[in-house]
Amino acid sequence: MQTPVKLIEAMDSLTENHEWGGATEMPEDVLAPDDWRLKAILNYRAETKRRDSSKAKQAEERIKRYFAINNISNPYAQAFILRKIGTAQIEILRITGLSKNDYYNHIGMLFRSKKNYGHLRVLDVEAMLRKANLKLLLEGRQWEK
């Protein structure tokens, strides 16, 4: 996303007029609620938040499509792959549609002895899946006993 011209002008104005406070001071603390600079900053924040959620949803759809292309329709297999590459649990549940109980009973117990928990978010997972060897990840299909 390219930085909007209004935001650049607002930030430059704060710097030129020495209205910017200390390192911990927020623009809301310095500017009046109806100031055009504050409105530009808040609009940029809102737009960034909206785009981030949109990017996450698109990445989630691409991950689901990736599994479909590679004929991995079993949600437990999908969850196993995602957990193995370090995906956060909430992301795994959202992508696979598994309940917490199903996840814990089939996938969570396989990784119980591992001390590192998943931390990757959807955008990182998508990049990891493109580089991963899915056949190698699925070698130990312990959930199918």
Convert the pLDDT of each residue in 77-121 to its tens digit.
999 888 888 888 889 999 999 999 999 888 888 777 666 666 777
pLDDT band per the 50, 70, 90 thresholds, residue 145 = very low
Residue 25 exposed, middle or buried by CB count within 10 Å (0-12, 13-18, 19+): exposed
Chain centroid to CA 137: how far?
22
Question: What pLDDT, on the 0 to 100 scale, is given for residue 75?
Answer: 93
Question: What pLDDT, on the 0 to 100 scale, is given for residue 87?
Answer: 86
pLDDT band per the 50, 70, 90 thresholds, residue 139 = low
Distance in angstroms (rounded) separating the CA atoms of residues 10 and 37: 5
For the whole model, what pTM was predicted?
0.64
Instruction: Quick: pLDDT tens for 10-67.
Output: 877 877 766 666 667 788 888 888 989 889 989 998 988 888 888 888 989 999 998 9
